[in-house]
Chains A and B, each alone.
Chain A
Amino acid sequence: MTPGSTLEVSLWRAVAVFRLLTLAYAVGVNLYDLPNVAHPGVLVATLALMVSWSGVSIWAYRRWRAPVLVADLVCTVLAVAATWLVEDPQRIAAGEPTVPMVWAATVVLAWALAWGPPGGVVAAAVVGAATLVQRDGPSGTTLNNVVLLFLAGAVVGYVAGLARHAERALAESVRLAAATAERERLSRQIHDGVLQVLAMVRRRGTDLGGEAAELARVAGEQEAALRALMASAAPRDDGQVDLRELLAGTRAQVSAPAGPVLLPSARAAELAAAVAAALHNVDTHVGPDAPVWVLVEDTGAEVVVTVRDDGPGIPAGRLAEASAAGRLGMAQSVIGRVRDLGGSVDVVTAPGEGTEVELRVPR
């Protein structure tokens, strides 16, 4: 997560508030206790260190995260250790709290926030050890406090991780929703504006003839290209592809069901390649501007694609002849591909009646 993200900023702000509240508490209690301590000068100096470090650290976290965290731990250990100089051994043994008191937990929270549960546990171990050393061994309350430190480190680290993950997930879903909305908005704009104008130029131009007809032809090509672009959708999660989308970019007039015709993407790609090869045949043998139609049917058990042209047709025996002569266009690129998919190809043709190539591929 970036340091500037909203969640990160709020978490560090919460640590800063905790630091200031615990600082006020420590300063208040210690000043009240000032007449009773062995070395009031050292106590005041320690409190001054805590106050100034609190201010500096809150300001500096944003810039130098790691060095400030290390310095934070050092300052906390120093403040805890200062208890030795400030208090009589008897008072310490009697259970007098350390100078920073609960302020010392701030560094554990900060480490947990920055480096997760491991960071929190390491900081808790260091601060806990510094506290225990004062006591010449664990007493009931101190041990209790140290366990709480460990818990705070581990739990805060874990929760911060969860919160970051949740924020990332939220940001991602917001981004996706925005991208989808933007895509739909653009499609609508293009549909209502550019496509309408292109369609009109194509229509009026064709009627006017001459140079305008040439403009109409170009406008028509752009209209078809733009439509194909808008129709090309993202691949689906389940590895299936809508065959209609694969065929939308061809120059054929495609007739298809209203709903998607789904095939596993590899099979769909092979079938689309076979259709493209059949269309290429039309370009070669009938002409690149000859009208050509593609019908996509989904019978449930199989997908049937028919490519039809209005050309002169193929004389009987011509396909077998071409295949025997080593010209494998139709035989290899269409029939071979479809057979590899476990399907079959029917060619219906007669001189003067165009050619229909029917490709059947099982699901």
Chain B
Amino acid sequence: MYPAETPRVLVVDDHPMWRDAVARDLGDAGLDVVGTAPDGAAAVRIAAAVHPDVVVMDLQLPECSGVEATRRILAALPATRVLVLSASGETGDVLDAVKAGATGYLVKSASAGELLEAVRRTAAGEATFTPGLAGLLLGEYRRLATAPAGPQLTERETEVLRLVAKGLTAKQVAARLVLSHRTVQNHVRNAMGKLRVRNRAGLVRYAIEAGLDTD
């Protein structure tokens, strides 16, 4: 299911205790932790040097934020994937990280086993999501539906996100909708991917939208 080679991981967190614990857990499980960084600017620098497969990214960072670091790392290294590991709860930060291109999101209260699983999935190109993230995405698409030419969810994608947001696992969603696990994964990945602001035009549109939205 996963690529044969060991995923190479960069761990970014400003809290030394957390950073070390996460790096140790991943290392003990046989993953290749190629670096750690205490802030966003260092993360961008180190990522450029070590080309990790997965960046485990905290969002609240000094220097440059986790969202900004995600944007810069993915702009320089399109093959790298970002898994957000945040303590901040499900807020606008997380949505911004998805828009910046993060493909996974996990809260810090997740167990070491869940984290390991998420890093492996992220390395394999799958989306990692939580009910909270699904709720955020649903809210964001509803908000965008009022704007002209904004990205829209298909009916099926909405259906899948609603089930995920209500706490169903991917397996339960697949069973409920009579779909394959892979199809469910694709729907979620598309729902996240459509929000990603890819190019300059997208950024401008996003900025205008955000500006119009703040009344």
Contact = CB atoms under 8 A, between A and B. Distances in A.
A300 B112 contact: no
B134 A255 contact: yes
A298 B21 contact: no
B186 interface: no
A325 interface: no
A298 B108 CA distance: 27
A255 B166 CA distance: 8
Interface in B129-147: 131-132, 134-136, 138-140, 142-143, 146
Contact of B131 (A253, A298, A299): A253
A227 interface: yes
A296 B135 contact: yes
B126 interface: no
Given A195-B87, A200-B21, A257 B140 contact: yes
A331 to B, nearest CB: 23
Contact of A258 (B95, B134, B168): B95
A295 B143 contact: no
B165 interface: yes
A300 B142 CA distance: 9
Contacts of A258: 90-92, 94-95, 136, 139-140
Given A203-B108, A206-B111, A295-B162, A255 B142 contact: no
A197 interface: yes
Interface in A169-217: 191-192, 195-197, 199-200, 202-204, 206-207
Contacts of A300: 142, 146
Interface of B is mostly: helix
Interface string B104-115: 000011111100
Contact of A297 (B91, B113, B139, B146): B139
A199 B165 CA distance: 22
B21 A356 contact: no
A256 B60 contact: no
Contacts, number: 104
B131 A196 contact: no
B206 to A, nearest CB: 14
B165 A196 contact: no
Interface stretch (B3-11, B12-20, B43-51, B75-83): B12-20
A157 interface: no
Interface string A239-267: 00000000000000111111100000000
Contact of A255 (B17, B18, B165): B165
B60 A191 contact: yes
A196 to B, nearest CB: 5
A203 B21 CA distance: 10
B30 interface: no
A257 B143 contact: yes
Band of interface residues on B: 35 or more
A207 B60 contact: no
A202 B14 CA distance: 19
Contact of A192 (B60, B108, B134): B60
B166 A200 contact: no
A173 B65 CA distance: 31
Given A191-B60, A306-B166, A202 B109 contact: yes
B151 interface: no
Q: Which one of A204, A220, A223, A259 has the greatest number of beta carbons of chain B within 10 Å?
A: A259
A300 B111 CA distance: 37
Nearest to B138: A297
Interface in A305-323: 306, 308, 310
A291 interface: yes
A33 to B, nearest CB: 72
Contacts of A191: 60, 87-88
Contact of B15 (A192, A203, A308): A192
A293 B166 contact: yes
A359 B170 CA distance: 24
16 contacts: A196-B87, A196-B108, A199-B108, A200-B21, A200-B108, A220-B109, A231-B89, A255-B132, A255-B166, A256-B132, A256-B136, A257-B143, A259-B143, A291-B167, A297-B142, A306-B166
Interface of B: 14-15, 17-18, 21, 60, 87-92, 94-95, 108-113, 131-132, 134-136, 138-140, 142-143, 146, 162, 165-168
Would you list the 5 A-B pairs with minimal beta carbon distance, nearest first?
A257-B139, A255-B135, A293-B167, A255-B165, A258-B92
